[in-house]
C-alpha cells in the first residue's frame, strides 16, 4: 500500500510533514504555478513525460484552449499524445479543440506575428464563423504588432527586466521577444500601417470587414518576410 499525504504549505500540519520527511518519505515539491511561463513549461513537461514533443507555440495554444487548470491541462496533454504521434503543434491543438482554441482574436494575431499565414487565416475564418466580433480581432492584431515593435525596440534583456520599463506583464514581453525574431524595423512599420488601415476598415471605413481582416493577415505576414 502507498500512502499519499498532501501538505498545502504554511504552519498548519508542518510538524507532521517534517516527521514524515525524517522518517524517509519521498517528498515531491509541487508549488503553485503563478506565472504564465511556468504553465507553458508544465504543458511541455507533461507532453515530454508522456513520450511526446511540444513547442512553446503548441503549449500556448493549448493554454488558450483549455485554460490554466493543471488537471485539465494534464488530461489534455495525455489525450493529445495518446491520439497522435506525440509531436504536437498548433494545428494539432486546433484540430482537437476546434471551437475553443480558435475563437480569440489573439490567436489570429499570434499566428500572424510569427508568419504563419495559413494558421492565421484558418483561425480568422473559424473566429468569424462562430461569431467573434470583428473589432476585437482587429484590435488584437494591432496589439500584436505594437507589442512586438515595443519589445524589439527595447533591446536585449530578460522579460522581467524589460517588463517594468515597457509597462507590460513579463509573459507578454517574453512572447513578444519570441515573435520579434524575423522582423525588421521596416517590416514592423509596414505592419503598423496595415493594422491601422484594418482598424479603420472594420470600424466603419470599409464595406467588407471579413475581407479587410483577411487582407490584413496576409499583408502582416508578408511584411515579416520583407514583403515577399
CATH architecture of 36-96: Orthogonal Bundle (1.10)
Condensed to tens digits (0 to 9), the pLDDT of residues 90-145 reads 888 888 876 554 456 888 898 899 999 998 898 888 888 777 888 989 999 999 99
Q: Is the pLDDT assigned to residue 76 strictly greater than 50?
A: yes
- The domain limits of the chain are 36-96, 105-224
Tell me yes or no: is domain 105-224 CATH 2.40.33.20: no
CB 181 within 8 Å of CB 210? no
Condensed to tens digits (0 to 9), the pLDDT of residues 14-36 reads 888 889 989 999 988 777 887 88
Q: What is the pTM of this model?
A: 0.58
**Can you tell me the distance from the alpha carbon of 117 to that of 128, in angstroms, rounded to the nearest whole number?**
16
Condensed to tens digits (0 to 9), the pLDDT of residues 149-192 reads 999 988 888 888 888 888 888 888 888 998 998 899 999 999 99
Amino acid at each position: 500500500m502507498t500512502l499519499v499525504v498532501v501538505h498545502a504549505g504554511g504552519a498548519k500540519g508542518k510538524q507532521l510533514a517534517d516527521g514524515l520527511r525524517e522518517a524517509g518519505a519521498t517528498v515531491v515539491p509541487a508549488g503553485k504555478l503563478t506565472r504564465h511561463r511556468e504553465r507553458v513549461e508544465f504543458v511541455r513537461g507533461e507532453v515530454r513525460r508522456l513520450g511526446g514533443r511540444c513547442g512553446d507555440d503548441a503549449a500556448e495554444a493549448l493554454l488558450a484552449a483549455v485554460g490554466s487548470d493543471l488537471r485539465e491541462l494534464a488530461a489534455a496533454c495525455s489525450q493529445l499524445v495518446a491520439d497522435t504521434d506525440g509531436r504536437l503543434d498548433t494545428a494539432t491543438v486546433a484540430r482537437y479543440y476546434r471551437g475553443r482554441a480558435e475563437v480569440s482574436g489573439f490567436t489570429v494575431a499570434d499566428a500572424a506575428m510569427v508568419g504563419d499565414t495559413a494558421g492565421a487565416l484558418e483561425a480568422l475564418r473559424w473566429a468569424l464563423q462562430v461569431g467573434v466580433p470583428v473589432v476585437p480581432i482587429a484590435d488584437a492584431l494591432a496589439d500584436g504588432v505594437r507589442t512586438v515593435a515595443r519589445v524589439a525596440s527595447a533591446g536585449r534583456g530578460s522579460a522581467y527586466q524589460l517588463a517594468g520599463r515597457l509597462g507590460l506583464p513579463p509573459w507578454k514581453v517574453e512572447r513578444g521577444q519570441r515573435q520579434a525574431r524575423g522582423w525588421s524595423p521596416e517590416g514592423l512599420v509596414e505592419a503598423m500601417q496595415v493594422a491601422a488601415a484594418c482598424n479603420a476598415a472594420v470600424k466603419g471605413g470599409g464595406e467588407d470587414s471579413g475581407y479587410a481582416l483577411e487582407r490584413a493577415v496576409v499583408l502582416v505576414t508578408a511584411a515579416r518576410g520583407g514583403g515577399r
